[in-house]
Amino acid sequence: MKPRTEYAPRKPFVRVVASLVLGLLIGGLFHYLLYRFSLPSKPFIYVNF
Amino acid sequence: MKDQGNDLLAGRTGEGRVHFGWWGQAARITETGLATVATLPAWPLLCGAVLGFCLCSWAGKIVSERPMFERFVRFSGPISPSYMFYPTASELVSYVRHTVQRNKYLVVVGGASYFRGAGQNPDELWTLELQRLLGDDYAVVNFAMDQAGITSFGAVAFQILAPEYPRIAYVTNASPVVVDPVDGGEVYRYIFWDAYYKGLIPLRSPWSERVRELAMEERKDPSGFELHLGKWIDQFTHACDLWTFIGYKFLFTVWSDGTPDSLARPRGLYVEGNDPNLTQRQRDRRQSREYGKRYEELNLDFATKGFVRNKSAVWELDPSAFEVISQLSRTMFPDDLKSKCFLVLVRSNPYFMQSFTADDWRRHEVMFRQGQLAFEGAGYHVIQLPDADFTPDDYLDGGHFMASGGRKVAKATAEGIKEVPLPDHPSKH
């Protein structure tokens, strides 16, 4: 029998759900990064004459 | 002697890594987390990532059609690009669609800080006076933004909303010798291309050809290419719509020097208060020699625009300059919208024109008249704000209006709008 690693959850279903949830977070993070990349690196400074 | 840093660096043994202290704890937790992730199945992770991205894009599309702004009066610091808050075109027009009925005469105010009301408190804003003068049949929305040009920001909302509101006007401050590019220029062009790639702006020929030419020109530049690529992608992902909405309603996630003590505070919670020191600021400006000198010089230089010196070193009108102004201004808006644009030619505070000679004043007046003819020749309505109607006390500084000046601007603008005959039939929507 193949020994189970120390960190692996015991139930396969939990692992699938955990993987899915982590994937959702990564997808959301990637989406957020697109927003951040659209912002200028230097803020617009309003010059009041 | 062996310190902790060395321990961490040299901690690998035959049985694994050796950790000490807090760093060791953190490293152990990280290692445990990574090992756990490594045992997770790959396909659900990949599916989750795609699903998460698509869900966010869908959410962005949904929120872009909802009114984001609450208690909106005008754009102020925390809800403006100078504080790293970049409203999208959808968010501007959604606000109008949900607050202004289609049978109203919609007046979209654009332009720069002059029309944002930089010298006026929110409750004495000139656009409130304009609304009062025009009456309930009209709905005035102030989308002016600091340093925005004629075609910037509010102008984009106007172009999108024009097909939906048969009775619509766009009011903006303008200079008799300045014409802006189609997309509004460097700072605010993001909102034009946001609308363009999302298909929100009706593209009418021949104006649309100029827009495509400009897009091609801008894409040759690295920063322009980045902007266009980003906005092209955003038409599918709606990332800017979603995260700006979240930043306004729930949690703001971008550092801004203007809000160092409340970084994550939703921008919608900021309510602009009254500034009780406007009169003091007005005094400070007048007492500042440096400011006065600089503004006098600016005004003197401005009074030479559109003129050339003849052989006797006397300033003469250069008719070709205003012909160029007229020609260039034809590309600012599609032909069918020009007659709905009211360009209000704002003038400087006479307090900072004390060194003007009679000839300077004459040129100054001629310039504004020629500018009017140039813009009218291109199809726009022009509203003048004659020098005689304004006193130094109507200004906060060199050009921004105090409440009293704002009321005069509102009166002239209301009269200008009402002079133009209304379309026969209100909207059937």
Q: Which residues of B touch A23 (CB under 8 A)?
A: 44-52
Full residue range of the structural domain in which residue B415 is found: 61-419
Rg, chain B, Cα only? 27
Q: Has residue B295 been placed in a domain? A: yes
**Contact, A35 vs B239, CB < 8 A?**
yes
C-alpha to C-alpha distances, B75 to B87, B118, B257, B267, nearest whole angstrom: 10, 10, 18, 11
Helix axes B239-249, B222-237, angle to 10 degrees: 80
Task: Tell me what pLDDT residue B187 has.
Answer: 87
Q: Which residues on A lie below 8 Å from B35 (Cβ)?
A: 5-7
Partners of residue A32 in chain B, C-beta under 8 Å: 56, 239, 243, 253
Least CB–CB distance from B233: residue in A32, A34, A36: A34
Compute the Cα dihedral for B181, B186, B189, B191 and give only its sign: negative
Q: Which long-range contacts (CB under 8 A, 24 or more apart) does B8-12 make?
A: none
Number of structural domains chain B divides into: 1
pLDDT of res. A2: 54
CB within 8 Å: B86 and A39 = yes
Sign of CA dihedral B86, B89, B91, B97: positive
What does pTM read for this prediction? 0.87
From residue B426, alpha-carbon distances to B93, B136, B170, B310 in Å are: 20, 14, 17, 53
- Torsion, Cα B95 B98 B102 B105, to 10 degrees, reads -40
DSSP β-bridge partners for residue B342:
B171, B381
pLDDT tens digits for B296-326? 999 999 999 888 888 888 888 888 899 998 9
Contact call for A46 and B253, based on CB within 8 A: no
A30 to chain B, closest Cα gap in Å? 7
Residues B364, B194 contacting (CB under 8 angstroms): no
CB atoms near residue B236 (< 10 Å): 12
Residue B48 in any domain: the answer is: no
**Nearest 10 degrees: Cα torsion B44, B47, B50, B51:** -90
What is the Cα Rg of chain A in Å?
21
CB A23 within 8 A of CB B44: yes
Q: Name residues of chain A where pLDDT drops below 70.
A: 1-10, 43-49
Kind of pairing between the strands at B307-309 and B315-317: antiparallel
Contact A30 B53 (CB under 8 A): yes
A2 token code pair: 């193949």
Asked whether residue B31 is domain-assigned, the answer is no
* Helix/strand number for chain B, H first, E second: 17, 9
In this structure, is residue B424 part of a structural domain? Answer: no
Flag whether B12 is in a domain: no
Distance from CA of A40 to the nearest CA of B (A): 8
- B423 residue type, one letter: P
Nearest residue to B321 (alpha-carbon basis) of B175, B182, B149, B184: B175
Residue B323 lies in a domain: yes
Residue B381: DSSP 8-state: E
Residue B229 lies in a domain: yes
Q: Which residues are CB-contacts of B133 (< 8 A; sequence separation ≥ 6)?
A: B410, B411, B414
DSSP E strands in A1-49: the ranges are: none
The residue among A19, A26, A33 with the most chain B CBs within 10 A of its CB, best to mutate, is A19
Give the type of residue at B257. D
B354 Cβ contact list (under 8 Å, min separation 6):
B296
Joined tokens for residue A1: 């029998």
Q: Do A44 and B48 touch (CB under 8 A)?
A: no
Please give the single-letter amino acid code of residue B154: G
Question: Between chains, do A15 and B399 touch, taking CB under 8 Å as contact?
Answer: no
pLDDT digits (tens, 9 = 90+) for B2-51: 444 444 444 444 455 666 788 888 888 888 888 888 888 888 999 999 99
Chain centroid to Cα B184, Å, comes to 9
Q: Which tens digits make up the pLDDT trace of A38-49?
A: 988 776 666 555
A7-14: list long-range contacts, CB under 8 Å, 24+ apart. Answer: A7/B32, A7/B35, A7/B36, A7/B39, A8/B36, A8/B39, A9/B36, A9/B39
Whole-angstrom distance, CA of residue B275 vs CA of residue B112: 20
Quick check: is B429 in a domain? no
pLDDT score, position A41: 76
Q: Residue B142: what pLDDT?
A: 96
- pLDDT of A21 reads 94
Interface test with B, best of A15, A41, A49 (most B CBs within 10 A): A49
In the predicted model, residues of chain B with pLDDT beneath 70 are 1-19, 422-429
Residue B173, beta-bridge partner list: B344
Residue-averaged pLDDT of chain B? 89
Contacts of B118 in chain A (CB under 8 A): 48
Q: Is A14 on the interface with B (CB under 8 A)?
A: no
